[in-house]
Amino acid sequence: MKAIVLKDLENLNYEEIDNQSIEGFVKIKIKASALNHRDVWISKGQYAGIKFPMVLGSDGVGFDDQGKKVIINPGLNWGSNEAFQSKSYQILGLPNFGTFSDSCWVAPTQIYDFPTHLDDVSAAALPSAGVTAYRSLFSRAKVKPTDKVLISGVGGGVALFAMQFAIALGCDVYVTSGHEWKIEKAISMGAKGGKNYKSDSYVKEFQSEVGGFDVIVDSAGGDGFSNLVKLANPGGRIVFYGGTNGNLNINPQMVFWKQLSILGSTMGSDHDFAEMLAFVNQYKIVPVVDSIFELKDFKAAFDKMNKGEQFGKIVFRNS
């Protein structure tokens, strides 16, 4: 099969590799797959447990061995506790070969009904980012329609789903971004407003124009996290699933005095994945696709994500 193969940290190529069949698993003929920041971290060696050679890619849609169109849950072995994943939990695309390929082997439990209101490309954008956004908002932050919600860094794949889900639920949703044009796009999709997190005055502006937020979703962490603590309403929940900018800067007094909950979240259980699909089907949510590449042009796709130029998901379509 032909795939995007990480041979070592110097060599990421589109090339032939022997398929990795796994007993009891099902071969999926991949029609489309989507890039996540995880693939970029792995290709740079910034991820635990990297092994070579590896076929990258967590998200995919395609046809199973019966010819049925399916969507893949990248998570395997979540385990029996909804609160956290088991020690044997893994995500497709490391350690098992992933979806940036003609075909891919997945466990029967990873195969779900294809969301029929979507085409291959938009459905491929959904799995990892969709389930991470869903668990963060619903299972962890317990978002309600009456909550005022802030999504930070809305240009991110997960962040954009979090915005779409919270708007669909009926929340008043605000965003931040480092790019004015991304804020404008978010507003055109139903966000009530947005601020540039690079501006020194953005916290004060939000405080005077909007007040505070009941639920805040973040993936950047770092020094900027202290601004989110300032922007949280008493009793608020700040949920984060990434730490792109490093360690959190938190004022403990503000957290305990405002009775804040600071919640970590990772991917989602099989239950979260099924609930996410049901939500997407119910509200006919259509993932935002930034751009579509062929697998052979993967370098341009990885570059685009590295530079943060995208709004929505970067998708690979197989011919």
Ligand X SMILES: NC(=O)c1ccc[n+]([C@@H]2O[C@H](COP(=O)([O-])OP(=O)(O)OC[C@H]3O[C@@H](n4cnc5c(N)ncnc54)[C@H](OP(=O)(O)O)[C@@H]3O)[C@@H](O)[C@H]2O)c1
Residues engaged in binding ligand X (CB under 6 A): 36-38, 41, 128, 132, 152-159, 176-179, 182, 197, 219-220, 224, 241-242, 244-245, 266-267, 305, 308
Residue 162, helix vs strand vs coil:
helix
Q: How far is CA 108 from the centre of its chain?
A: 23
User: Quick one: CA dihedral 56, 120, 166, 75, positive or negative?
Assistant: negative
151, 271 Cβ separation under 8 angstroms: no
Q: How far is CA 191 from the centre of its chain?
A: 19
Q: Checking phi first, is residue 274 left (phi over 0); if not, alpha (psi -120 to 50) or beta?
A: alpha
**Cβ 62 to ligand X, closest distance in Å?**
21
Name which of 115 and 155 has its Cβ closer to ligand X.
155
Name which of 103 and 122 has its Cβ closer to ligand X.
122
What amino acid occupies position 312?
G
Q: 201-231: b or e for each residue (b if 16 or more CB lie within 10 Å)?
A: ebbeebeeebebbbbbbbbbbeebbebbbeb
**Cβ 161 to ligand X, closest distance in Å?**
9
CA angle 242, 248, 252 (to 5 degrees): 135
**Cβ 192 to ligand X, closest distance in Å?**
16
**Cβ 162 to ligand X, closest distance in Å?**
9
What is the rounded distance in angstroms from the CA atom of residue 237 to the CA atom of residue 139? 12
Name which of 61 and 186 has its Cβ closer to ligand X.
186
Name which of 26 and 212 has its Cβ closer to ligand X.
212
Name which of 179 and 230 has its Cβ closer to ligand X.
179
Peptide bond into 145 cis (omega under 30): no
Name which of 41 and 63 has its Cβ closer to ligand X.
41
Name which of 110 and 219 has its Cβ closer to ligand X.
219
**Cβ 106 to ligand X, closest distance in Å?**
18
DSSP run (H or E) holding 43: helix 37-43
**Cβ 134 to ligand X, closest distance in Å?**
11
**Cβ 312 to ligand X, closest distance in Å?**
9
